[in-house]
Structure 1
């Protein structure tokens, strides 16, 4: 066996890799070749020295987890300016709407012109709408997530109602007091839209329970994520 082939096999043995020739033949050559014996001894001493340096460095190394910069703790988005007063104002308007509905349900005069009073069923229907709007505004003030639905229904209702109010006002069927009694509904719609817009404009809260992935780990300089090693061949020299 040539020395070059034997040394290649010995180098693979030292590295823990598969030897290209049977180990028995390599050992026979090593026993009969002084040059290869000297080379093998030098390689073993260098490998032991290298392993000792690596072991000593590991004892002084700081864990990678300690070198990874920790991101600052996420801060919750503060309440946007005006969101407090908008919800309070919406709740107040809803309460006013309910008061007007209760007065009308009790038979009180809420601005109906004499001689142009509405039928009993129409009055009851108007009262029901006023109660529904008042309660919906209170719910939207307490739960801003529900403000969108209230805003859509209220906007359609006030748009249609405005047309009737203008027509009846020109015909003299309603007076100024009755017209002013519809202002809480209009103000409630505007405030509901404002509450909804401010609620949806808030940034989402960060997910604190998110599991970190490998991409979130910052490695030190000159370090790599490594790769999976393939199959390691045995070194007992069973190759043919």
Structure 2
């Protein structure tokens, strides 16, 4: 079993679509997959959140979240406005481990970037991962932008992960344009050759607009799953 944390170099970089594509690709390989989002902030007018979008696109039914807050803000600020208390980190750890007991892969989608605070004590997705790492194989996928500034943001995120013992996080470009600029093509080459960070692939821009069946069919072609993600791995 493997717990894979999907974080981003920033907000709105494509974490939800990447999580959906990973879930679809893993399911297509024959693996059992669950998805957990510790904190959802900001929802559509119809109440549609990230886990709902992941379920719609990937077809994976085991999708769960820790808390849902209406304002599209950092979790602590959104919870204060809603006059609600954020779940303690241990609740998230327990939920993740419950899912890991019955699924080969658990995908955990963070909120915003890596060091966004998820509970009232300032603990982050990296801290949640540190706890599950004691119990089960734990991996990180970092979703990054294609445009200007992405190399610095990506390297800062990788450095923050490696500082806590996550030495080989994988990279995904969350939205690759149909007509990339010279800067974007240069960035892609640099990301593909980032030392110690396997490059899994890129999701095309507007992938969310595809019919779910097409999304599921294309996900294994967009993302090159590493060996540890194969369904036949213990």
TM tier, shorter chain? under 0.3
TM-score normalised to structure 2 length? 0.23
TM-score normalised to structure 1 length? 0.23
> Would you tell me which structure has more helix in proportion to its own residues?
1
